[in-house]
């Protein structure tokens, strides 16, 4: 039985620099065991229709960023695709009334490969990468996850890769202690998830403290709802890592 994970991926430099979260993920990966495959929703792929990677062969590595050291652009993660699993995922989503389409060419963006490079550095586990639709409701995101319940029993690891607090305008470039408003927002989320207070979570924009500051745009936030929805509701959510960079960038990671 695999866990279901939400990973706060932060900066792509986590692939080559040993920040707190990167070190945690490197140590956590071996404790998971060896998944049969990985299904990962990435904040860095937005589409109008939910899109599932159906790559037959090795993924290319996408460097969807700029202004970083050359070393980062030399990192590759040539994981194999999993077309049969992509088809199963699409079937499950369709049965829940969620339209899907497939993509046979797109590589892994840094929302995927930075996280996977830390967890499973050998790139020897098949991957299905899936887009996000941040314009859809929070209830919809949770329903996307619900459609995938039971994959964990097949030893398939579901990951939502994003960030709970992701506001570039509020970041302190020189570093420093995390802002209290960011901590308070994450505290509220963890509390409501532990209580399984879905009505509050679905209306976090109105009820969570500092929601507008924490989530100025939801593309990094919605993978949390998808991961949460895909897990067994009898399991209690667990914070497995929590750290911050530049005052507000949250690297909180949860296991469901």
Phi, psi of 131 (to 5 degrees): -75, 175
Whether pLDDT at 173 is above 80: no
Residues 6+ apart with CB under 8 A from 17: none
Please give the CATH number for the structural domain made up of 4-255.
Answer: 3.40.830.10
Break the chain into its structural domains and give their ranges: 4-255
Whether pLDDT at 256 is above 70: yes
Tell me which H or E stretch contains 165.
Answer: none
Average pLDDT over residues 181-210: 98
In this prediction the pTM is: 0.97
Q: Indicate left, alpha or beta for 244 from its phi (over 0: left) and psi (-120 to 50: alpha).
A: beta
pLDDT for residue 192: 98
What percent helix, strand, coil does the chain show, rounded to 5? 40, 20, 40
Q: Indicate left, alpha or beta for 222 from its phi (over 0: left) and psi (-120 to 50: alpha).
A: alpha
């Amino acid at each position: 039985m695999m866990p279901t994970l939400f990973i706060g991926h932060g900066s792509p430099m986590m692939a080559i620099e040993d920040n707190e979260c990167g070190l945690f993920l490197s140590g956590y990966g071996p404790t998971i065991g060896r998944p049969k495959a990985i299904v990962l929703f990435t904040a860095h792929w937005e589409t109008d229709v939910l899109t599932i990677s159906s790559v037959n062969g090795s993924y290319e590595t996408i460097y969807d960023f700029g202004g970083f050291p050359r070393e980062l652009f030399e990192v590759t993660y040539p994981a194999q695709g999993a077309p049969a699993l992509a088809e199963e995922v699409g079937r499950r989503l369709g049965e829940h009334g969620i339209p899907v389409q497939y993509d046979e060419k797109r590589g892994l963006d840094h929302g995927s490969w930075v996280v996977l490079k830390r967890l499973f550095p050998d790139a020897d586990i098949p991957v299905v990468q899936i887009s996000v639709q941040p314009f859809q409701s929070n209830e919809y995101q949770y329903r996307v996850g619900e459609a995938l319940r039971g994959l964990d029993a097949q030893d398939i690891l579901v990951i939502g890769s994003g960030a709970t607090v992701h506001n570039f305008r509020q970041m302190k470039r020189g570093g420093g202690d995390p802002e209290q408003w960011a901590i308070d927002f994450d505290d509220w989320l963890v509390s409501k998830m532990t209580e399984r207070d879905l009505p509050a979570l679905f209306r976090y924009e109105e009820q969570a403290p500092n929601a507008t500051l924490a989530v100025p745009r939801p593309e990094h936030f919605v993978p949390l709802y998808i991961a949460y929805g895909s897990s067994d509701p009898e399991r209690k959510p667990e914070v497995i890592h929590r750290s911050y960079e530049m005052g507000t960038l949250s690297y909180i990671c949860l296991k469901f």
